[in-house]
């Protein structure tokens, strides 16, 4: 079994300093089924106080949802990210930066529970 989530589309278009729009596609395959869900997506993102991002998204199957997310640097090498949405899904992630491009990551997710790994950044 392979599961994946990916999003493809244009880079966000800036309306103002704190508002972006996005149009693209979302591909999602569940863990327990072999069906791949493919939908078109239109989104508007707002940057709220405390650098929290609100992403309001609608897809071609008339599903509308909102997601709040944020990323913060706790120390010079430790980062914390979180996200929660109206589908009652959430994710929290701690990352420790070994070098500029290599991080160790621990995640707790409402769907996949705990996980960890190495994150590579390409600049």
Task: For residues 5 and 58, state if they share a domain.
Answer: yes
Task: For residues 41 and 90, state if they share a domain.
Answer: no
Reading the block at residue 73, the tokens are: 């640097």
Q: Which domain holds residue 96?
A: 67-123
pLDDT in tens, the chain (123 residues): 344 455 555 556 677 788 988 888 877 776 666 677 788 888 899 999 999 999 999 989 888 999 999 999 999 999 999 999 998 999 999 999 999 899 999 999 998 889 999 999 887
Q: Per the structure, how many domains does the chain have?
A: 2
DSSP letter string, 100-119: SSEEEEEEEETTTEEEEEEE
Tokens 């999602």: give the residue. 28
Stated pTM of the model: 0.75
- pLDDT reported for residue 80: 97
Task: For residues 35 and 50, state if they share a domain.
Answer: yes
Do 70 and 88 contact (CB within 8 A), yes or no?
Answer: no
Task: For residues 57 and 75, state if they share a domain.
Answer: no
């Amino acid at each position: 079994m392979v599961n994946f989530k990916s999003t493809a589309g244009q880079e966000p278009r800036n309306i103002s300093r704190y508002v972006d729009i996005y149009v693209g596609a979302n591909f999602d395959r569940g863990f327990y089924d072999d069906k791949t869900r493919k939908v078109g997506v239109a989104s508007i993102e707002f940057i709220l106080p405390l650098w929290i991002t609100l992403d309001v998204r609608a897809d071609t199957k008339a599903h509308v949802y909102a997601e709040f997310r944020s990323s913060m640097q706790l120390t010079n090498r430790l980062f914390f990210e979180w996200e929660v949405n109206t589908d009652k899904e959430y994710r929290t992630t701690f990352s420790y930066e070994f070098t500029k491009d290599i991080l160790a990551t621990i995640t707790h997710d409402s769907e996949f529970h705990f996980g960890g790994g190495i994150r590579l950044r390409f600049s």
